[in-house]
């Protein structure tokens, strides 16, 4: 410190220290304000992300439900088609056997 700015006595030294404390308290207050701003911004972002994830989860759940419904209808239709094919095959098989027996046994007594 230059000589003309150096404290002259204890009273002036105390006043300079009080000024420094006031500057530090002001800096601390500003940091607390910035900390609160940052905390509220982080809280807001967390809330936004939670809402986004929840909406995506709901959308995926609805899509899975739609796919399951379509699969159930598909398997139901497949079962009906398989049943019809089995029935037609059975009827045609019985008819062919009847024709073969009739032709082969046409000369029997």
pLDDT tens-digit series, residues 73-89: 888 888 888 888 888 88
Locate 28 and state its tokens: 């601390």
**Burial profile 50-78: b = 16 or more Cβ within 10 angstroms, e = fewer:** eeeeeeeeeeeeeeeeeeeeeeeeeeeee
> Which pLDDT value is given to residue 2?
47
7 contacts 16 by C-beta, under 8 angstroms: yes
CB 13 within 8 A of CB 7: yes
Q: What is the pLDDT of residues 18-44, one digit of tens each?
A: 888 888 888 887 777 778 888 888 889
Place of tokens 């009906």: 80
pLDDT band at 1 (very low <50, low <70, confident <90, very high): very low
Pair of tokens at residue 53:
């994830």
């Amino acid at each position: 410190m230059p000589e003309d700015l150096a404290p002259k006595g204890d009273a002036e030294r105390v006043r300079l220290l009080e000024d420094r404390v006031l500057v530090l308290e002001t800096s601390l207050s500003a940091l607390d304000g910035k900390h609160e701003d940052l905390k509220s911004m982080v809280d807001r972002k967390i809330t936004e992300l939670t809402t986004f994830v929840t909406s995506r989860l709901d959308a995926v759940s609805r899509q899975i439900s739609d796919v399951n419904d379509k699969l159930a209808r598909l398997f139901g239709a497949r079962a009906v088609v398989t049943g019809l094919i089995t029935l037609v095959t059975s009827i045609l098989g019985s008819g062919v056997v009847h024709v073969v027996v009739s032709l082969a046994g046409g000369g029997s007594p």
